[in-house]
Amino acid sequence: MRFNVPAPAHLSDAHTHAARYHARSMQESKMVHLANEIARFWAAYPHDEALAGVAGHIRSFWEPRFRRQLVEYGQTGGAGLHDLVKEALQQLAPSTSTS
């Protein structure tokens, strides 16, 4: 559910635009942290199961725009991403463009 709440009067148009942009995209550091948390959980499982678990979780629970953002981040090197996340992104890349 979304509510249209007016921006406080003391914020300029530039501030409200920036706030709207950040609401639509996840900060890279937060995105990396969340993806790595998933990978750390699955890392205790056998590799194939862990890989499927990471990809499945991101596919099932992340919004399509955040999945796309993560895939794009991975395609630019994926600095700081757990190896399981990097591998899972290879499985997610084709499905991301259709979501």
State how far the Cα of 62 lies from the Cα of 14, in Å rounded to an integer: 28
Query: What per-residue confidence (pLDDT) applies to 13?
Result: 52
Helices (H) and strands (E) in the chain, counts: 5, 0
pTM of the model: 0.70
pLDDT, one tens digit per residue, over 83-94 is 999 999 999 986
As given in the structure block, the two tokens for residue 75 are 């395609």
Contact 25, 69 (CB under 8 A): yes
- The residue ranges of the chain whose pLDDT is under 70 are 1-25, 94-99
> What's residue 16's pLDDT?
46
Q: Give the pLDDT of residue 56.
A: 97
pLDDT recorded at residue 77:
95
Residue 93: per-residue pLDDT: 85
Q: Angle at which helices 47-61 and 64-75 pack, to 10 degrees?
A: 130
